[in-house]
Chains A and B, each alone.
Chain A
Amino acid sequence: AQKVTQAQTEISVVEKEDVTLDCVYETRDTTYYLFWYKQPPSGELVFLIRRNSFDEQNEISGRYSWNFQKSTSSFNFTITASQVVDSAVYFCALSTSGGYQKVTFGTGTKLQVIP
């Protein structure tokens, strides 16, 4: 069985602050894929990043960065210099077998960026 835990239900930050969203996962598979999705108020799921279990390099994309640590089964997401447009629900997710299997989502973290 696989499980994704996002302990932070809601976070509020003031614009320009940095914020880290936590994600802890559980799986018995040695090959797996981790994802982050953004869900704005309009409801669609916006893909942000995919990492496979063999690639522990951290990644930076503009104001976004991801810290993958297999030793602690964590895949945390940091937004630097947050903006109001970052306000959304963020889901961490896990899939095994090359992504051809189901994606298991965490419960999401609602981020509110206050101007």
Chain B
Amino acid sequence: EPEVTQTPSHQVTQMGQEVILRCVPISNHLYFYWYRQILGQKVEFLVSFYNNEISEKSEIFDDQFSVERPDGSNFTLKIRSTKLEDSAMYFCASSGNPNRSPSPYEQYFGPGTRLTVT
């Protein structure tokens, strides 16, 4: 069964450093997302990406965040200058190819990257 993969599984960084979280969406999907889950809290939407541009972003997704699809397979989230409050689990998701399986309406989530900012 196709799946979304994310690397690394755990990233530890110092405050102020830049981090890049990587995701490989399901190959025939067209829509890509990042979500964040602070420990013990709910999963929150950060950004959606379609046709090489951001289609929607939340208030959380401020200027320190950026997303990119540098090639045909990877989808990255960059945090330019990490803060302590950026410590969270970051989930990548993908969805949408109406002409192909799996279901186009379901967002498939990756296993997450746990980011720890010290």
Residues of A at the B interface (CB closer than 8 Å) are 33, 35, 37, 43-45, 47, 50, 52, 91, 93, 95, 98-108
Contacts and interface: CB of A to CB of B under 8 A. Distances in A.
18 contacts: A35-B106, A43-B89, A43-B114, A44-B109, A45-B43, A50-B106, A91-B42, A95-B105, A95-B107, A98-B105, A100-B31, A101-B48, A102-B56, A104-B45, A105-B42, A105-B43, A105-B44, A106-B42
B30 to A, nearest CB: 9
Contact of B105 (A45, A99, A105, A107): A99
Contacts of A101: 48, 56
A108 to B, nearest CB: 6
A47 B89 contact: no
Interface string B90-118: 01010110000001111111011010000
A99 B95 contact: yes
Interface size class of B (residues with CB under 8 A): 20 to 34
Contacts of A100: 31, 48, 50, 95-96, 105
Contact of A103 (B45, B50, B96, B104): B45
Contacts of A91: 42-43
B41 to A, nearest CB: 7
Interface of B: 31, 33, 35, 41-45, 48, 50, 56, 58, 89, 91, 93, 95-96, 103-109, 111-112, 114
B36 to A, nearest CB: 11
A64 to B, nearest CB: 17
A4 B18 CA distance: 33
A98 B104 contact: yes
Contacts of B31: 100
A68 to B, nearest CB: 16
B109 A102 contact: no
Give the top 10 A-B pairs by smallest Cβ distance, nearest first: A99-B105, A102-B45, A45-B109, A105-B43, A44-B111, A107-B42, A105-B42, A98-B105, A100-B31, A50-B106
Nearest to A4: B42
A63 to B, nearest CB: 22
